[in-house]
Amino acid sequence: MKKDLLSVADLNKKEMDDLFALAIKIKKPTKAGKSPKLLADKTMAMIFEKPSLRTRVTFETGMTQLGGHGIFLEMSLGKRESTPDIARNINRWVDLIMARTFAHKSIVEIAENTDIPVINALSDLEHPCQIFADFLTILEHKKKFKGLKLVYIGDGNNVCNSLLLAAATLGVNMTVGCPQGYEPDRGIWEKAQELAAKTKTTLQIVRDPREAARQADVIYTDVWASMGQESEKDLKARVFAPYQVNKHIIAAAKKDCMVLHCLPAHREEEITSEVLDGPHSQVLDQAENRLHIQKAIMVTLVKNNARRPKAKKKK
């Protein structure tokens, strides 16, 4: 694995499989209250430009359970100090940085100005930690990836972008059901298509949400207007009304389909309570797995990128 986890595309299939295996290995003792102290005496700076429930609780809890410590930093990058200056200072104090930002370039700037691992805990382009938790949940329930059909219905946002990259790498066929003009990022789509060609995976965009959901193994949705897009809320509510995940969408999928949502959910908007709380929903397993997969990510990055003492200058 590279020094940082900024994008799902930073990992190949073997590295993803290794993450899932480690997360499952860590999960068992964690559930028994005996989490291994694999990050004892390590400290992580947690930078938040956006409010958070799952991201903060799972990362901070994960560090504590692993014997380390997380420091919560609520700040606007580049306002009081430049992002590079912030990164260079934090680099001298801690062993690991995770950042939840608006602009993806902020995550990149942090990584470029540190020699410690940096984790993208959400940016406007990608949400890799969430997506690895999603695929861990799929693996636990479906016992495989190859040949599954994953359907994402809604806005082609950061979650959709990262889902495409992971699906293409892991051999999961993916259909995006979205209206015209709300497709995933073009660069991400092209990269995902390159990955899909190697794994003989099918990626497609479909306008009709029920057609998209046909014979789906997994149906995934997210809020229509993400944080920072509040001004678009009313417009998106009108445009995406036909894309609500409800009983009619579920009826088009396989009888044993899973329903996933990265949360928080806006009930009766992108998803009905009937579906969110229904027998197909695995959103709480999905949310729990943020804890376990992020522990695996932190352990792997710290282990693979331990600071090496500088060589002594020859006299």
- Hey, which residues are catalytic here? 100, 127, 130, 222, 262, 290
The DSSP H or E segment spanning 278 is none
Contact 120, 5 (CB under 8 A): yes
How far apart CA 36 and CA 26 sit, in angstroms, is: 7
Contact 136, 291 (CB under 8 A): no
Q: Among residues 300, 299, 303, 297, which one has the least CA distance to residue 120?
A: 297
DSSP E strands in the chain: the ranges are 43-48, 69-74, 96-100, 118-122, 149-153, 173-177, 203-206, 218-221, 258-261
Torsion angle of C-alpha atoms 199, 196, 263, 121, degrees rounded to 10: 90
Q: What is the length of the chain?
A: 315
